[in-house]
Structure 1
Amino acid sequence: MPQSPADDPGHPRHPAEAAARAADLTVLDRVVTDCRACPRLVAWREETARTKRRAYQDWDYWARPIPGFGPPDAPLLLVGLAPAAHGANRTGRIFTGDPSGDLLYAALHDLGLANRAESVRHGDGLRLHGVRITDPVRCAPPDNKPSTGERDTCRPWITRELELLRPTVRTVVALGGFAWQALLPALAAAGWLVPRPRPVFGHAAHVTLPAADGGPALQLFGCYHVSPRNTNTGRLTTPMLRALLRTAAESAGLDPQAREP
């Protein structure tokens, strides 16, 4: 007999059930923080919070799943990989408290899509304008590598998020190949037509996905992930990131305003 949400997709706290019951993004963002469906990820996020990194010994780690961040009527959605163990798992907000987030939020601020360039912790006053950010995997994984099973177990959260965003979302940016691959089945489940063969990820890759019900199409862009591995090697530069985000924002109907570097 199934004994836990991880074992039973019909369990009321399993993502497949809990996400489907969320009537809006506020509810979804609250409910996801109670998810314990993946035992390995639960153990890792909580162990990381107990042991901590030396620089963060005074922090009370969040150590729960990370909800999406940004307005519920955003026309532009950015999708990453998973929370960082000492970043979002510590601060309680996606892409917050690590170098990846520092670069991303600074670029959004440069384009007038965020009210400040720094992202410190949940509740610090940061606001996004027309942009929402989320992950296909909501808990920090060991070595930043979720398993295929963990990715699939977590999929109902982002699928429901996409369903709830459908009235307004027009553009999605996949930050990295993992996000791109994780997004395609979620986009199909949420009501967009994904072509066969499936589009291939690359920086500045772009595909238009028609809506299955005849509604507005969705523009999907690929962008190299804002990880130190990519930025320290020059694979992704700040101008490259800013240019991609500008193109995506404009395709979503936003009017990015460049600021002085």
Structure 2
Amino acid sequence: MRRDGPDDAGYPARSAPGCGALGELETKLVDCRACPRLVAWREQVAVVKRSSFRDWEYWARPVPGFGPADAPLALIGLAPAAHGGNRTGRIFTGDPSGEVLYAALYEVGLASQPTATHRGDGLALHGVRITVPVHCAPPDNRPSVGERDTCRPWLARELELLRPGLRVVVALGGFAWQALLPVLADAGWSLPRPRPKFGHGAQVLLTDARSGRDLYLLGCYHPSQRNVSTHTLTVPMLHTVLRHAAQLAGVTGPGPRGTP
């Protein structure tokens, strides 16, 4: 194992901070092999596959964020799905969570189409970028605390690169919320004390003392298959949060269902 290569646990912390653009960040990120358990799982899934995807050549690498580099709105999920992003190479693409999320983004005018099936399917996002705290698919959709922390420099740098125009960050679930708080604090955004708790519809206004700029942090239940099937999160609930986030961010997309 090269101590200075992508197999080393310190690779994200060494590589992410120096990235000057999202394209450079993504290039370095997809080579990352810093978490042995996640690397083994993502590659095992790509070999065993799911029968319905047996003809697919799985991506089986870290999955980068998706969306424009000047997006004023960022959505933060959890991690790629084993047979979703880990298969297609694009976050929230090819899995039930993505079906719900992209359909909702389309309805509120933030996506060009309601479906996301594969990279190159023509999907484009308007004013919103989607990323995750953990970029490799974890077993049972549960990254460890250590894996989250090892992956943190990628999220920190991605948000820093978005920062000039970033106005709103939406945490999709409690995991994303907890992962975001230290990243935002380390980046100079003031957090209330005690630290705000996650909840669907939660809203916290953060301020950068250096520039005086504000950033809204919103909470939304994750659009997981379980949350949707149990009605913990309904489609109208998701629409409400996304519309509110878009309004706060000043995003003006093409409108719902592609209308002007």
Scaled to the shorter chain, the TM-score interval is over 0.9
What is the alpha-carbon distance in structure 1 between the residues aligned to residue 159 and residue 117 of structure 2? 26
Please state if 1:56 is matched with 2:53. yes
- Give runs of aligned pairs for residues 178-197 of structure 1, distance below 5 A: 178-197=175-194
Please state if 1:80 is matched with 2:77. yes
Corresponding residue for 2:171? Answer: 174
- Give runs of aligned pairs for residues 114-125 of structure 1, distance below 5 A: 114-125=111-122
| Number of residue pairs matched by the alignment | 256
Aligned-pair CA distance for 1:6: 5.9
What is the alpha-carbon distance in structure 2 between the residues aligned to residue 21 and residue 194 of structure 1? 26
Aligned-pair CA distance for 1:193: 1.5
What is the alpha-carbon distance in structure 2 between the residues aligned to residue 29 and residue 72 of structure 1? 12
Corresponding residue for 1:25? Answer: 22
Aligned-pair CA distance for 1:8: 5.1
Verify the 8 A CA contact 1:45 1:85 in the aligned structure 2: yes
State the SS of the aligned residue for 2:16: helix
Task: Give 2:87's match in structure 1, choosing from 90, 106, 114.
Answer: 90
- For residues 19-52 of structure 1, give each alpha carbon's deviation from its aligned partner in whole angstroms, at most 9, with x where no partner exists: 0121011111121000000000000000000000
Please report the RMSD computed on the Cα atoms of aligned residues, expressed in angstroms: 1.6
Corresponding residue for 1:40? Answer: 37
Aligned-pair CA distance for 1:74: 0.1
| Structure 2 segments unaligned to the other structure (5+ residues) | none
Please state if 1:147 is matched with 2:125. no
- Give runs of aligned pairs for residues 95-244 of structure 1, distance below 5 A: 95-244=92-241
Aligned-pair CA distance for 1:216: 1.6
Verify the 8 A CA contact 1:163 1:191 in the aligned structure 2: no
**2:227 partner letter:** N
**1:82 partner letter:** A
**1:144 partner letter:** N
What is the alpha-carbon distance in structure 1 between the residues aligned to residue 45 and residue 9 of structure 2? 26
What is the alpha-carbon distance in structure 2 between the residues aligned to residue 19 and residue 111 of structure 1? 32
Verify the 8 A CA contact 1:2 1:8 in the aligned structure 2: no
TM-score (norm 2): 0.95
- For residues 235-256 of structure 1, give each alpha carbon's deviation from its aligned partner in whole angstroms, at most 9, with x where no partner exists: 1000010011000110001136
TM-score (norm 1): 0.94
What is the alpha-carbon distance in structure 1 between the residues aligned to residue 9 and residue 102 of structure 2? 38
